[in-house]
Amino acid sequence: MNNQIQQTYARTTSSGSVSASKTLLNVKEMTMANTVQTIATPKPAVVFLRGLDARVARTKAAGMFDEDSRFLELDHAQILAHVQGRQDFTRGRDADDVPPLLADVAELASAWVDGWNEAEESVAMAACSGCNDGSGNPCPHHG
């Protein structure tokens, strides 16, 4: 078996390309190479980190002594959660898939759901013939 491996290695490395006849070893090597390539491909977003910006903004607000600054930062946190909801809709996530970092804070979870729902409605309105009849007014269903 060791001799067969050496011969296969010599055939594939001497010409710089894989020979036309495939051995079981070549198939395994290609499968392993594809698996490694698939595993090494980074995901678009780490699931746990969704909503991190909103959670950090809310935590910063909790530590502020100035009341006006605290309210502004809390509002900013809700805006970030809202934007995350819109982005998650665009990426194909379900309405029930609230990010873990936002799910345990009612205001942030609500803002995320609002963002998701608004993105869904925007898509529905863009496809609605009644909303796009040229009048500039939405249809009775969306208006």
Taking residues 53-64, report their average pLDDT. Answer: 93
Across the chain, the runs of DSSP E, i.e. the strands, are: none
The whole-model pTM stands at 0.64
More confident residue, 96 or 34: 96
pLDDT at 45 over 70: no
Which pLDDT score is estimated for 58?
95
More confident residue, 25 or 89: 89
Contact present, 83 and 118 (Cβ < 8 Å): no
Q: Sorting pLDDT into bands at 50, 70 and 90, what band is 131? A: confident
- Per residue in 66-81, pLDDT (tens digit) is 999 999 999 999 999 9
**Residue type for position 109:** A
Q: Name the nearest CA neighbour of 99 among 86, 89, 114, 84.
A: 84
Contact present, 115 and 85 (Cβ < 8 Å): yes
pLDDT at 116 over 90: yes
Q: Name the nearest CA neighbour of 29 among 20, 39, 18, 40.
A: 18
Tokens of 25: 């070893």
Q: What percent of the chain has pLDDT over 90?
A: 48
Q: What percent of the chain has pLDDT over 70?
A: 67
Q: Is the dihedral of CA 18, 24, 25, 27 positive or negative?
A: positive
More confident residue, 139 or 47: 139
